């Protein structure tokens, strides 16, 4: 658990946003206890940061309609069930952090449609499948964290070519097999594995 805290610090610094309430561009609420049901009415919303709010249940599929959203961070909550595939409709999304929840099932392949995504943080959940191969083709990704799940499979041989901007690649505490491909050396900015 000691290794979790530096990761948490990194997530907070990378996903930082202001702490204003819904001004139709940002939403950061502290200790609200439940996910705001009418959030999809804020069509200009650009940032959702609901870190460590004791939220539970499922992540609403309706969030996929927030086309202006660039950051979605609900780390350190108690969300369950699979990630809604509708999050793949957030075409402007730059950062997605679902760190340290109780999410389960497969990582939806629809997330590969997020071609602008730079930060993908899905660590410390209960995902149990292979990482969709198409996620390794989002060339804008700099932070790829899927650590501490129950994921399995191997890595594509061209990993470093398809993720050239990769800076941190956290895959530990899963059931991956095989080698980390030598092509990862092409990600010249890589500082953490």
Condensed to tens digits (0 to 9), the pLDDT of residues 25-51 reads 565 555 546 677 688 889 999 999 999
For CA atoms 34, 102, 42, 22, the dihedral sign is positive
Relative to beta strand 152-153, strand 175-176 is: parallel
Separation CA 101–CA 81 (nearest Å): 10
Percent of the chain with pLDDT over 70: 82
Residues of the chain with pLDDT under 70: 1-34, 37
The closest of 120, 119, 127, 85 to 102, measured between CA atoms, is 127
Contact 133, 86 (CB under 8 A): no
The domain ranges of the chain are 4-186
Of 189, 141, 144, whose CA–CA distance to 167 is shortest? Answer: 189
pTM comes to: 0.85
What is the percent of the chain where pLDDT is above 90? Answer: 77
> Does the 4-186 domain belong in CATH 3.40.50.300?
no
Which pLDDT score, from 0 to 100, does residue 97 have?
98
Query: pLDDT at position 12, please?
Result: 55
Query: What CA–CA distance (Å, rounded) separates 90 from 151?
Result: 24
pLDDT in tens, 5-26: 444 555 555 555 433 344 445 6
């Amino acid at each position: 658990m000691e290794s979790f805290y530096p990761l948490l610090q990194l997530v907070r610094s990378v996903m930082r946003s202001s702490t204003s309430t819904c001004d139709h561009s940002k939403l950061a609420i502290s200790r609200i206890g439940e996910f705001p049901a009418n959030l999809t009415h804020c069509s200009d919303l650009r940032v959702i940061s609901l870190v460590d709010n004791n939220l539970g249940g499922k992540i609403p599929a309706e969030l996929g309609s927030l086309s202006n959203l660039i950051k979605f961070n609900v780390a350190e909550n108690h969300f369950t069930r699979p990630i809604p595939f509708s999050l793949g409709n957030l075409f402007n999304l730059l950062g997605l952090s679902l760190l340290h929840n109780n999410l389960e099932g497969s990582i939806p392949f629809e997330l590969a449609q997020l071609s602008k995504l730079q930060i993908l943080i899905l660590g410390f959940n209960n995902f149990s499948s292979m990482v969709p191969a198409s996620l390794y083709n989002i060339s804008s990704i700099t932070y790829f964290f899927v650590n501490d799940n129950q994921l399995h499979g191997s890595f594509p041989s061209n990993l470093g070519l398809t993720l050239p901007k990769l800076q941190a690649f956290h895959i530990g505490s899963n059931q991956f097999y095989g080698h980390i491909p030598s092509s990862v050396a092409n990600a010249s900015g890589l500082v953490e594995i």
